Structure 1
Amino acid sequence: MNKITYKKINYKHISDHFLNGYIRFQETTEVYYVEDNEMKLKNNNFLEDWDQEKLINVSRTLKDAVKNGGVLYAAYDQKQIIGFAVLDTKMFFDEYMNVPYIHSSKGYRGYGIGSYLFYLISQEAYKRGAKKLYISTHPAKESQMFYLARGCRITENINKELLALEPYDIQHEYLISPVSDTLKLIDIEYKTHYKMSAILVSKIASKLHRYLPNDEADFLNVCKILLMCDTRGYFSIGTLFLKRRTEVIKEENMEFFEDILFNYINEWDQVDQYCYRVLNYMIALKEEYYDYLLKWSDSENKDVRRASLVSMIKSSNKLVLEYDFDKMIFLVEKLKNDEDIHVRKAVGWVLKCSYFKYPERLEQYLRDNVRNLDRLIFRYALEHIEDPLREDLMNL
């Protein structure tokens, strides 16, 4: 199977042939029915298969739905549509929005396509103020297993108009959870790729950022769960989400950011990602935030000490230190003899990154302190300096 793509469809792109090639075929042997508010199973054999006329009629229905304010997502295997879901955005019972269609084509079921479409629609409903999805679901056992596995439950608030359209359908509702639904989207997206790379992680973060909760507390909760994960890819996605929504990186949320730094980061590369994608943005905002760096430099946690240095480095087209040189040197002097090698490497790193803005001052500092710096730090500090100056400093 090729890479599956998902698109939000404009009604202008829905023709009578929109669903050409889509295979609705479903063979049913058992169905559920509701009795005394309980789901019960019985035998019932029938086939459901959409012919060309049905595909055209459904295409027209989808176009009308989107024209009237609905939201349609479609899944594609290259140019072939293999799944779709639509949300009717008209609210009823003060909290529900209806999901008239959610389907995956034969041959593509069981790969997470229906789930992905489900959570996309859930996020769209949430952003429009809905608290629950209402779904009149096909009674087939397989269909019911899908909805129950997503967390749907029989609703007590029956929409009689929708029930009249399909009297044998099971009327379900789904309580929208913006944090959980976002994480499920991320999980499905992540698990569809067998081998992760930095570029692929960045693409996933960019793709899914639009579906994140607008509410700040919910957004931070999503990021925190990702940052707490042992899986490196999830951690990276969390830092990229924060980098994209810089308005949440502020002192009022420092307790949140320090909680992550103090309790959930335990590798030097995680420290660096977190610092130059997140913490640097805040530290650079106000001079008084330097007090946080001083506090972190006294920590018993080596990763927090490293963060006190790396947070001064800005990530743009290249890593550069634009922070106050004297304040940087104060921390360098404080931590240059640290017992942890990764802290000492960070000392060398901030020195080398300072060269782009402070070339003369860095040169003078290195000349004055050649006997006082660990050779490892000294070599790191020289990395951006070109010959013959670099060779001259090496021979001091």
Structure 2
Amino acid sequence: LNADLWDDVRKLSSCDLRTLAHQTWFSPEREFQYFTVGLLEREIFRMYEDDSSSTADLALKTLNFVKVFIEHPSSWWDTVDALSPNVVGVLVQKYPDELLPEMDKWNVSSCFWLSRTSIIYQLSYKKDTDADRLFRYCLKVADEQEFFIRKAIGWALRQYYRTDPKAVRSFVLKHKNKLSSLSVKEALKHDK
């Protein structure tokens, strides 16, 4: 989108930003969801800047605001995969004490998009990845039959492999019988 539009968006109040995000996400045309993703990526920390709640409350409000979009029936892998590292991951990195317990809940959620998000939110963390948490989350849902979960496990492990190939290789080999063949294949895609 053009710079003039984003200049106008920057002038909106927090309340108006939230309204705009809802109106665009819930529009019948799917393309509006992409706009919402871009809006959240650019303005996530402004969504509740008009709120005088505690930091913990603000972090949870903001995460729950995004959660509505992730678990909505119109969500699909493309929007979830953008929101996970670029919005949820950024929030969790800024407010780990407040939001990591939420990621624990999302990991075992009956909504597989939330579970997928819990696995891939650290994609861009590199050396800051909490490997123990990533591995734990992968194991908790390893028996899941849902393609998007199996693929997420492999993708998250493959991404972390770029930072610590030895740890990922060791984890995958140790748990090869628990992980799906798709997860193993994706995780070790770059293993020589």
TM-score by length of 1: 0.42
Whole-angstrom CA distance in 2 between matches of 1:375 and 1:205: 43
Alignment of 1:74-223 (within 5 A): 204=1, 206-212=3-9, 213-223=11-21
Corresponding residue for residue 301 of structure 1: 111
Aligned length: 179
Corresponding residue for residue 376 of structure 1: 182
Question: CA offsets per residue over residues 198-242 of structure 1, 9 Å max, x none?
Answer: xxxxxx165421111431110121122222234332111111122
Letter matched to residue 38 of structure 2: L
- Conservation of the 8 A alpha-carbon contact between 1:205 and 1:237: no
- Conservation of the 8 A alpha-carbon contact between 1:310 and 1:350: yes
Whole-angstrom CA distance in 2 between matches of 1:351 and 1:259: 26
Which of structure 1's runs of 4+ aligned residues deviate more than 3 A? none
| Cα distance change, pair 300–350 in 1 and its aligned pair in 2 (3 A) | same
What are structure 2's unaligned runs of at least 5 residues? 48-57
| Cα distance change, pair 287–254 in 1 and its aligned pair in 2 (3 A) | closer
- Conservation of the 8 A alpha-carbon contact between 1:351 and 1:362: yes
| Cα distance change, pair 326–299 in 1 and its aligned pair in 2 (3 A) | same
Residue 329, structure 1, aligned to residue 126, structure 2: no
- Conservation of the 8 A alpha-carbon contact between 1:265 and 1:271: no
Whole-angstrom CA distance in 2 between matches of 1:209 and 1:364: 45
More strand, by proportion: 1
Whole-angstrom CA distance in 1 between matches of 2:66 and 2:175: 35
Corresponding residue for residue 35 of structure 2: 237
Q: Percent identity?
A: 17
Of the three residues 82, 104, 122, the one matched with 1:312 is: 122
Alignment of 1:259-298 (within 5 A): 259-263=68-72, 265-288=74-97, 289-298=99-108
- Conservation of the 8 A alpha-carbon contact between 1:205 and 1:240: no
Q: Matched residue of 2:124: which SS?
A: strand
Question: CA offsets per residue over residues 29-67 of structure 1, 9 Å max, x none?
Answer: xxxxxxxxxxxxxxxxxxxxxxxxxxxxxxxxxxxxxxx
TM-aligned CA deviation for residue 246 of structure 1: 4.0
- Conservation of the 8 A alpha-carbon contact between 2:108 and 2:140: no
TM-aligned CA deviation for residue 270 of structure 1: 2.0
Q: Matched residue of 1:313: which SS?
A: coil
More helix, by proportion: 2
Of the three residues 64, 75, 79, the one matched with 1:255 is: 64
When the two chains are superposed, the root-mean-square deviation of aligned CA atoms in Å is 2.2
Letter matched to residue 94 of structure 2: L
TM-score by length of 2: 0.82
Letter matched to residue 69 of structure 2: I
Corresponding residue for residue 53 of structure 2: none
- Conservation of the 8 A alpha-carbon contact between 2:41 and 2:83: no
Whole-angstrom CA distance in 1 between matches of 2:31 and 2:78: 12
Of the three residues 125, 145, 158, the one matched with 1:352 is: 158
Whole-angstrom CA distance in 1 between matches of 2:86 and 2:29: 18
| Cα distance change, pair 275–207 in 1 and its aligned pair in 2 (3 A) | farther
Higher relative contact order (CA 8 A, sep 6+): 2
TM-aligned CA deviation for residue 257 of structure 1: 1.7
Whole-angstrom CA distance in 2 between matches of 1:338 and 1:364: 21
| Cα distance change, pair 359–372 in 1 and its aligned pair in 2 (3 A) | same
Residue 225, structure 1, aligned to residue 34, structure 2: no
